[in-house]
Structure 1
Amino acid sequence: MDQNQDERSDTIRLTVDGQELAVEWEDNQSVAALREHVAEQELTITLTAYEDFEQVRSLGITLPSENSQQTAVPGDIMLYNDSNIVLFYGSNSWSYTNLGHISDSSVDLEDLLDKEEVTVTLSGQD
């Protein structure tokens, strides 16, 4: 099985307020652990706005991390402090582990994410 087939059959689905988004997930230990978790049990959490650039909340699980100082840009999905997922609609520099990037160009991330809270579901691919 080539890598692309493997990614399609073993990916994580991200839904924000009922809208499924295309994501390019990173190939790292954090994403592998998250993929394993959501294959067993769907994860639905309510993220809350922080400042004017991100939505953040604890996943309720701890993931392995490879934090490094980096600048997140709109669409980035980061892991913060081993257990918090962060979805960016703006930019910020901090120590994160990169989980992926929302690659869905049909979505206005600011319209979708710039509100008090959003409901996010992470699930295994059907």
Structure 2
Amino acid sequence: MNRSKLMTVIASFLMLTGCGSYSENSSAVTVQSENSSVMIQSDSSVSSVISDRQDVTTAEQHEEKEVDGMKIVIGDKQFPVTLESSNTVTAFTKMLPLSLDMSELNGNEKYYYLDTPLPSAPENVGHINEGDIMLYGDSCIVIFYKSFDTSYSYTKIGHIDDTSGFADTLGTGDVTVSLE
């Protein structure tokens, strides 16, 4: 390491010590900023740093896993949903649980306008499948109970895993749907 780089590291270390921590009982000094950390330590404390990093990774993985699915509850019937991986879904799942008084439209879908807009990335899906859950615009949740071709653009949210009995459970009029 050349002298200039060494001086930069030392200067950074000294400037960040106000944000760091030091323990006299330990043989390590850790200086952390929001995006990086510099550590001067003995070999015995390396394992605790690795362990801390693994805990953070495990928590992040657990958080991602929670977004994998959802269920729709209508009366005493439950329908598991597989969710897309997108900013829309992440924002939407933070709103859960929701109880929506959904309105009937066109004999093939139920819809509800949310009070809060969601991030959207609409695309012309071409075909709707029974069980598709979509976002129309940036605030209209749509649950489809019949398959058909469409020229409308939607942001995909997810799909009901097993639609057996779904259309009958929704019925022909307005319905209250819980999303959990």
TM-score bracket, shorter-length normalisation: 0.7 to 0.9
Q: Calculate percent identity across the aligned residue pairs.
A: 31
Aligned-residue RMSD, C-alpha? 2.3
Q: What aligned pairs does 1:84-95 form with structure 2 within 5 A after superposition? A: 84-90=140-146, 91-93=148-150, 94-95=152-153
User: What SS does structure 1 have at the residue aligned with 2:95?
Assistant: helix
Q: How far did 1:18 drift? A: 3.9
Structure 2 CA distance for aligned equivalents of residues 98 and 82 of structure 1: 12
Name which of 97, 100, 117 aligns with 1:45.
100
Figure out how many residues of one structure are paired with residues of the other and give that number. Answer: 118
Structure 1 CA distance for aligned equivalents of residues 63 and 79 of structure 2: 19
TM-score normalised by the chain length of structure 1: 0.80
The answer for the alignment partner of 2:131 in structure 1 is: 75
Q: What aligned pairs does 1:7-86 form with structure 2 within 5 A after superposition? A: 7=65, 9-10=66-67, 11-38=69-96, 42-70=97-125, 71-86=127-142
Which protein, 1 or 2, shows the higher relative CO under an 8 Å CA cutoff with sep ≥ 6? 1
Counterpart contact for 2:70–2:82, Cα < 8 Å: no
Q: How far did 1:6 drift? A: 4.5
Counterpart contact for 1:54–1:113, Cα < 8 Å: no
TM-score normalised by the chain length of structure 2: 0.58
The answer for the alignment partner of 1:109 in structure 2 is: 166
Instruction: Structure 2 unaligned segments of length 5 or more: list them.
Output: 1-57
- Higher strand fraction (1 or 2): 1
User: What SS does structure 2 have at the residue aligned with 1:22?
Assistant: strand
Structure 1 CA distance for aligned equivalents of residues 90 and 63 of structure 2: 16
